[in-house]
Amino acid sequence: MITSLRLEPVTPGNVDAALALRVHPYQEKNVAPVVKSLAEAYAYGETAWPRLIFDGDELVGFVMAFLDIPWDPERDPDDRRSGLWRLNIAADRQGKGYGRFAVDAVRQELARRGAARYYVTWEKGEHSPEEFYLRLGFRPTGEVSGGETVGVLEI
Ligand SMILES: CC(C)(COP(=O)(O)OP(=O)(O)OC[C@H]1O[C@@H](n2cnc3c(N)ncnc32)[C@H](O)[C@@H]1OP(=O)(O)O)[C@@H](O)C(=O)NCCC(=O)NCCS
C-alpha cells in the first residue's frame, strides 16, 4: 500500500541515488536516463521542474515537468505550453501507482501556476507508455512532436 508518497527536489544528498535509477532495459528507448534529464534541467533553468518520487525513505522514480515553453516558435510564437517532460519509475517499482501519483503531482503544480492544459508526448510501439497516459485521461491532439504523439489533459 502507498503510505507516504511525496516529491522532493534533487539535492547533494540524493543525486547519486537519482542517477542510479533505471527503468527496464526494453523501456530505455521510451525515456531519457535521469543523467540526461538533470543536464537538461541545468541548461533550461526555470522552465524545467525536476523532482524525485519518494515512498517513505525509498526513492522510486524521477519526474520532470516543463513550464510555459514556446512550443513551436516557427509556427506560433504565442503557443506556450506546460506539461510532463520525463517520467522514470524504477524497474522493480512499476505497477504500484507511483506513475499515476507523479502525473497527478505535476498536474497540481501546473494548476498552482495557472496552466489550463497539461501536455505530454510519448513514443508509440512495443512497450510504449501510451496506454498509461490514455488511462490517466490524456487525449491525442493529433500533433506529432519530434516523432512522438502529443497528448493533452484539461486541468
Ligand atoms: C509508464 C510508467 C511511467 C508507468 O508507471 P507505473 O508506476 O508503472 O504506473 P502505475 O502503477 O501508476 O499505473 C497506473 C495505471 O496505468 C496502467 N499502466 C501502467 N503502465 C501501463 C502500460 N505500459 N500499459 C498499459 N497500462 C499501463 C496500470 O495498470 C494502472 O492502471 P489502473 O488504472 O488499473 O490502476 C513506467 O512504466 C515507466 O517508468 N516506464 C518506462 C519509462 C517511460 O516510458 N516513461 C514515460 C515516458 S513519456
Burial 131-153 (b: 16+ CB within 10 A, else e): ebbeebebeeeeeeeeeebbbbb
| Cα(85) to centroid(ligand 1), Å | 15
Whether the predicted pLDDT of 1 surpasses 80: no
Give the residue, by CA position, lying nearest to ligand 1 atom 46.
87
**CB-based contacts of 7: which residues, under 8 Å, 6+ apart?**
51, 52, 53, 54, 63, 102, 105
| Cα(76) to centroid(ligand 1), Å | 32
Mean pLDDT (the chain) is 96
E strand segments, 19-92: 48-55, 58-72, 76-89
H/E stretch holding 141 reads strand 139-145
Closest CA to 125 of 58, 29, 56, 10: 29
pLDDT digits (tens, 9 = 90+) for 78-94: 999 999 999 999 999 99
| Cα(127) to centroid(ligand 1), Å | 10
Average pLDDT for residues 24-53, to the nearest whole number?
97
Please work out whether the CB of residue 29 comes within 6 Å of at least one atom of ligand 1. Answer: no
Question: May I ask the CATH architecture of the domain 5-154?
Answer: 3-Layer(aba) Sandwich (3.40)
Whether the predicted pLDDT of 2 surpasses 60: no
Give the residue, by CA position, lying nearest to ligand 1 atom 9.
99
Q: Of the given ranges (1-15, 17-31, 81-95, 99-113), which has the lowest mean pLDDT?
A: 1-15
**CB-based contacts of 99: which residues, under 8 Å, 6+ apart?**
61, 87, 89, 132
pLDDT at 154 (0 to 100): 97
- All three cell numbers of 146, joined, read 519530434
Average pLDDT for residues 12-37, to the nearest whole number?
97
Give the residue, by CA position, lying nearest to ligand 1 atom 15.
132
Kindly report the pTM of this predicted structure.
0.96
